[in-house]
Chains A and B, each alone.
Chain A
Amino acid sequence: MAHERNIGDTILSVDQISLSFGGVKALSNISFAVKEHEVFAIIGPNGAGKSSMLNCINGFYHPQEGTITFKGNTRRQVRPSEAARQGIARTFQNIALFNGMSTLDNIMTGRNTKMNKGIFWQALRFGPAEKEEMEHRAVVERVIDFLEIEAIRKTAVGTLPYGLQKRVELGRALAAEPDLLLLDEPMAGMNLEEKQDMCRFILDVNDEFGTTIVLIEHDMGVVMDISDRVVVLDYGKKLAEGTPDEVRTNQDVIDAYLGVSHDDEEA
């Protein structure tokens, strides 16, 4: 990247994680560490265990072995809601928004973990609840401004084109003001222009808010362009880890995944 960034200490460390569903080993003995402010990519062929890895990090799956340490707290089992409260937000491979709700309301749900006033006050929207809602709304408006989606603020997300829905989903994750943002294939199904926009937003999020980003992506051009470091998984095992250049030239990775002609095609 053009400018130097303040890559900090390790924020997330994954130690010897193994996960299996019955007899199927989804992940075996995976370890890696993500540093603060980093853009970290997980790549690998279909079924390599990338999404499973994300699901472990945000507490959706519970690995049978190994530990995950986030901001110094080591944990074996954590519920997704707790992970969210600790500062982990994510987007999904298949968009998971509330279709009938507006963009604004969808992004507002991202503030859910930060709403402290009881349901009684919220229902009345009175006193402390009103003040709280205004604060949350201000955060949401900053996200809307940041992602340049003012024009669709009040549009039901179900009627939006795919690329914009992806952007709204990113908005919802950002509204939680996370320390760690997990993005599961943020560019899947996008055209070139949408991909460029999304890349710019990811880099801007990383730059402006200092958010650490872990992403899964299939578009090698994108991964090599925006990530600081990459880990490569194959059949639930770790093949390699390093900077994009190191990974690109790693023979194991080329054999398993990139392939010479394939690389040319994608790049």
Chain B
Amino acid sequence: MGEAKPADGTVDTFPKLLIDNARRIGARPAIREKDLGIWQAWTWQQVKDEVAAMAAGLKMYGFERGDSLAIVGDNRPQLYWAMTAAQALGGKPVPMYQDAVAEEMQYVLEHAEASFAIVEDQEQTDKLLEVMDRCPKLKEIVYKDPRGMRHYDQPFVRSLDSLMEAGRKFLAENPGWFEAEAAKGKGEDIAIMLYTSGTTGRPKGVMLSFDNVVITARNGVAWDKLDENDEVMAYLPMAWVGDNIFSYGQSYVAGFCVSCPESSDTVMLDLKEIGPTYFFAPPRVFENILTQVSIRMEDASKLNQWLYKKFMDVALRVGPQLLDGKPVSFMDRLMYGLGELLVYGPLKNELGFTRFRLAYTAGEAIGPDIFDFFRSLGVNIKQLYGSTEASVFICMQKNGDIKPDTVGPPATDVELKIADNGEVLFRSPGVFVAYYKNDEATKSTKTDDGWVMTGDAGFFDADGHLKIIDRAKDVGKLNGGTMFAPKYLENKLKFFPYITEAVAFGHERDYAAAFINIDLEAVGNWAERRGLAYSGYTDLSMRDEVYDLVAECVDKVNKDLSEDAALSGSQIKRFLILHKLLDADDGELTRTRKVRRSTVAERYGELINALYSGVDVCPVEATVTFEDGRTGTIKADVKIREAKIFPSQQAQAAE
């Protein structure tokens, strides 16, 4: 996008990009937010004015060059502006996960040495006040939403409005101050610090420079030909690198408008109203949408069900080919066109997908069924492989060259190689500067010549697409010597709508076994349809009928595995359905909903033992943390089932 990238190359930081956008496309919308039921928009010119006021306000209350600014809250325009304001002042914005509990926040606040915090509301203010005495550097808390804040009389707690008011006064007396401050920034300066959620150990602060983020964002924009006419919905946590690239970096580079939902509960409704053209969602979001559609179709009238089935068959057969521009017969084209009119179009409209030019999914493997479903509807969903340390993009699929089980070829300017142990290594302009105050971790992750170890095991297929199988350190061996890739098994299980989470065991064991969490909504609906009464998750999870249902899924996974010579030995011999949902509040999942294996193994030791002994039932007690922070226990007798083991295809052929 030549327009977005001036030839002289001086626009190398976000504050400079903002000033440039205000000059070039100042009257175009930059960001929107739904407030009191109405979409409010700010143009690039207005955003620049707001950011300047915020920067001046921060400056007046003592924010210095090199300081860290903690940012906590849902996706709000003001919080995105806070990032640019801090960057203009030469500070490091540190967006934090808004649903983290106070103790988790304390670690990041303390480690990042945040001196200022800009937070969304009373809830976040309270959390920070709770840990403030343990964060000696933190001296000011600024809140956006004044609701409930009237009685906070601490001198270091103030409203964003008052801070910006002070900033505006300062700007009136010092015109040109913001531009001068912004001009001091350079491409190699630290743009942002993102704390990785950390499946192991303490979170690490990944420092990304402006060059990292801006160049990577530009490459991404060029790859997919994004421009100022695109629309994005910002609804994923601001602390996550993906949001920083999609809703911030690429928006500043391409000049497109970002919309912030009214609240986290209204995302799907707001999506429908905004109709974005460019969308990002982890696989579970697409999975939820598909589950919702399936459930609602089951409640639809007979005629609608018939139409849906009829045309979805057509779509699944020819939709992906049409999307990839491959030849399709005239008759099929005609049927697909009719389907678009009767089924796909209305369905996409209902979901807010009508204007999608492209949608990305990453973070985990997406189920082939889900992937095919959306592609067959004409939704250009693609996979990408990335990490915080790469400023997101490592591999991404190209239009017209999509495979459901790979993450595509390397992205622009990215070099890739596979180490001897199968680990994927990359080198790119997006490679992070270092971990903050953690040289040891930096050294063990990044080599001196800039190669970064991803920790993921993978290989290239015949077309040069990367295929990721698991975390390199998680790939183990069964006692028999068969390779055991737990994530691979878990993903296969999770592709079933009835299974929401799975944890596979097998390293240095005689056979593979698994814990399963059922999907309360999908299985609940299934149970209702059968007139099966239940009182809650625990009760439902222990029903024999549900076990039968899950056993069918496990059998199918085993059948699939039996077809793959290398993995046939790792078929799941025994499984159980956990009596409670694994939960981030209990430390069993990370905030990005990845399983913490060590915690699970520790907490459910007896159940693992039960999987590897002959027993059929294992009594357990589990501690649960309620949303208000209190704890309670759940007692249950967890049943253990044997699954069907299929002979390996090779062995069958030999017979």
Could you tell me which A residues sit within 8 Å of B by CB distance?
2-3, 137-138, 141-142, 144-146, 148, 150-151, 153-154, 192-193, 196, 204, 207-208
Contact = CB atoms under 8 A, between A and B. Distances in A.
A204 B148 contact: yes
A141 B36 CA distance: 5
Contacts of B628: 192-193, 196
A142 B265 CA distance: 17
Nearest to A200: B148
B262 A150 contact: yes
25 contacts: A2-B151, A3-B151, A137-B37, A141-B36, A144-B36, A145-B36, A150-B37, A150-B262, A150-B266, A151-B263, A151-B266, A151-B269, A153-B37, A154-B269, A192-B628, A193-B626, A193-B627, A196-B628, A204-B147, A204-B148, A207-B148, A207-B150, A208-B147, A208-B148, A208-B150
Q: Identify the 7 closest CB pairs spanning chains A and B, nearest first.
A: A151-B265, A141-B36, A3-B151, A141-B37, A151-B266, A150-B262, A150-B266
Contacts of B266: 150-151
Contacts of A148: 263
Nearest to A3: B151
A211 to B, nearest CB: 15
Nearest to B267: A151
Interface string B208-252: 000000000000000000000000000000000000000000000
A154 B273 CA distance: 13
Interface string B491-513: 00000000000000000000000
Nearest to A104: B37
Interface in B159-208: none
Interface string B139-159: 000000001101100000000
A78 B147 CA distance: 36
Given A3-B151, A151-B269, A196-B628, A144 B37 contact: yes
Nearest to B153: A3
A138 B148 contact: no
Nearest to A1: B151
A143 to B, nearest CB: 10
A154 to B, nearest CB: 8
Contacts of A145: 35-36
Contacts of B269: 151, 154
A82 B262 CA distance: 37
Contacts of A196: 628
Interface in B304-319: none
A196 B150 CA distance: 21
A176 B627 CA distance: 32
Interface centre among A144, A150, A207 (most CB of B within 10 A): A150
A145 B148 CA distance: 13
Contacts of B262: 150
Interface of B: 35-38, 147-148, 150-151, 262-263, 265-266, 269, 626-628
Contacts of B147: 146, 204, 208
Contact of A150 (B150, B265, B627): B265
Nearest to A152: B265
Nearest to A203: B148
A48 B38 CA distance: 47
A207 B378 CA distance: 51
Contacts of B36: 138, 141-142, 144-145
A59 B37 CA distance: 35
B288 to A, nearest CB: 15
Query: Which among A145, A196, A204 has the highest number of chain B CB atoms within 10 Å?
Result: A145
B129 to A, nearest CB: 13
A166 B144 CA distance: 29
Contacts of A146: 147
A204 B626 CA distance: 23
Contacts of A137: 37
Nearest to A5: B151
Contacts of A142: 36
Contacts of B38: 141
B148 A150 contact: no
A206 B77 CA distance: 30
Interface centre among B36, B266, B269 (most CB of A within 10 A): B36
B352 to A, nearest CB: 15
A209 to B, nearest CB: 11
Contacts of A204: 147-148
A194 to B, nearest CB: 11
B263 A150 contact: yes
Given A141-B37, A141-B38, A151-B269, 11 more contacts: A144-B36, A144-B37, A145-B35, A145-B36, A150-B265, A153-B37, A192-B626, A193-B626, A193-B627, A204-B148, A207-B150
Contacts of A151: 263, 265-266, 269
A2 B269 CA distance: 38
B471 to A, nearest CB: 36
A40 to B, nearest CB: 21
A72 B255 CA distance: 60
Contacts of B626: 192-193
A146 B36 CA distance: 10
A265 B348 CA distance: 53
Contacts of A192: 626, 628
A226 to B, nearest CB: 15
Contacts of B150: 207-208
A132 to B, nearest CB: 17
Contacts of A2: 151
A176 B151 CA distance: 26
Nearest to A143: B36
A259 to B, nearest CB: 26
Most A-side CB within 10 Å, residue of B35, B37, B150, B627: B37
A55 B65 CA distance: 63
A12 B502 CA distance: 60
A251 B37 CA distance: 52
Nearest to B35: A145
B593 to A, nearest CB: 21
A204 B37 CA distance: 21
B194 to A, nearest CB: 29
B634 to A, nearest CB: 16
A3 to B, nearest CB: 4
A144 B263 CA distance: 12
Nearest to A2: B151
A153 B273 CA distance: 14
Nearest to B627: A193
Nearest to A155: B269
Contacts of B148: 204, 207-208
Contacts of A141: 36-38
B500 to A, nearest CB: 21
A155 B228 CA distance: 34
A196 to B, nearest CB: 6
Contacts of B151: 2-3, 207
B519 to A, nearest CB: 20
Interface centre among B35, B38, B269 (most CB of A within 10 A): B269
B520 to A, nearest CB: 15
Nearest to B145: A145
Contacts of A153: 37
B73 to A, nearest CB: 15
A75 B341 CA distance: 65
A100 B38 CA distance: 24
A197 to B, nearest CB: 10
A137 B148 CA distance: 23
A142 B147 CA distance: 12
A138 B37 CA distance: 9
A141 B627 CA distance: 27
Nearest to A146: B147
A138 B36 CA distance: 7
